[in-house]
Amino acid sequence: MLLDFEALPGSERYTSSETTQEIKDHVKGIQEQEAEEQKVVEESILERDKEDQAKIDEARRAVDKAA
């Protein structure tokens, strides 16, 4: 059963299936954006971890040299 309604006063009319598809598309866009942001965060963490490990390795070499 399709229902006609106005989404907002003064807006064009939509059927419920059209509005549902728009909502699904919007949610999908948000999910894709969040996934991309999560990927950037994870890559940043991995890069920081690599830098931290390099510092640890350098400190160990310095301690080994001093010993």
pLDDT digits (tens, 9 = 90+) for 26-46: 999 999 999 999 999 999 999
Residues with Cβ within 8 Å of 13's Cβ and at least 6 positions away in sequence, in order, are 4, 5, 6
Confidence band, pLDDT 50/70/90 cuts, at residue 1: very low
Confidence of residue 19 (pLDDT cuts 50, 70, 90): confident
For the chain, what percent of residues have pLDDT higher than 90?
A: 63
Mean pLDDT of all residues belonging to the chain: 84
CB 20 within 8 A of CB 3: no
Residue burial 20-37, b: 16+ Cβ < 10 Å; e: rest: eeeeeeeeeeeeeeeeee
Length of the chain: 67
Question: With 60 as the cut, is the pLDDT of residue 62 above it?
Answer: yes
Strand partners, 5: 14
**Chain CA centroid to CA 15, Å:** 31
